[in-house]
Amino acid sequence: MQAQAFSTTTAELALAGGLSPQGASHLMAISTLQHKAPGETLFAEGDEADSVYEVVRGMLRLYKLLPDGRRQITGFLAAGHFLGLAPEGVCVYTAEAITEVTLCRYKRKAFDHLIDEVPGFAKRLLAVASHELSAAQSQMLLLGRKAAPEKVASFLLMMADQQGKDGEAMIDIPMTRSDIGDYLGLTIETVSRTLTKLRQDGLIALPTPDRIKIRDRDQLEELAEGEAEAAL
């Protein structure tokens, strides 16, 4: 799809947070909006990383293809998340829309110029890079967990936190059970069986396939940390 004229505000852009009005104005000046339909690819692994993106609305899946053809999903990005910060100039994963997605696109050369010209912008990017590193470390820890209930509980809490939900809350799960399995290193059957067990134990409710209600966050957190048992 073609980039469209910019029609959002700095209040909607996490990257503008902490910048002066002038700095935010410079950021807006190099920005365009892009829209992606569900299933549409933003960029593929191996493509030239000529742009940096911020998710404004919707959700993306990030994945890599393993040598044997299997897919490993490395993350789900919602509003306020960034992608495209490839240090070697080449995309190291594929980004694909799960839902209708709106993104703010910054051309790489103009973006790099802002790092040198806008006070505080480099510090803001460091915070973004640190968040990406933390997310990667969390993913490594998640894949290292042996028990499926711990993995699924951790995933549900991650989604709740990403959506700003706490306590008993309804969270949106727009990805498929296959996506969740490819993210957690589990089969579809194990994901479905684990969710059913969590429902039977009273930790969650499953009103629809794409919405899950957390009914007992404290117990879900204990399970995610390996402090509670939920045998399948």
CATH number, position 206: 1.10.10.10
Domain membership of residue 231 (yes or no) is no
Q: What percent of the chain stands above pLDDT 90?
A: 52
Average per-residue pLDDT for the chain? 86
Q: Which residues contact 139 (CB under 8 A, 6 or more apart)?
A: 74, 75
Domain end residue (candidates: 91, 123, 139): 139
Query: Cα separation of 52 and 121, whole Å?
Result: 14
Out of 64-78, 148-162, 169-183, 216-230, pick the least confident. Answer: 216-230
Out of 22-31, 63-72, 128-137, pick the least confident. Answer: 128-137
Q: How many domains does the chain have?
A: 2
pTM for this prediction: 0.84
Domain membership of residue 182 (yes or no) is yes
Domain membership of residue 45 (yes or no) is yes
Q: Which helix (H) or strand (E) holds 41?
A: strand 41-43
Greater confidence (210 vs 229) lies with 210
What average pLDDT does the segment 96-113 reach? 92
Query: Cα separation of 198 and 10, whole Å?
Result: 40
| 129 lies in the same domain as 149 | no
Angstrom distances, CA of residue 15 to CA of 19, 114, 124, 152 = 8, 12, 7, 30
Query: Residues 219, 203: contact at Cβ < 8 Å?
Result: yes
Q: Give the structural domain span for 219.
A: 145-224
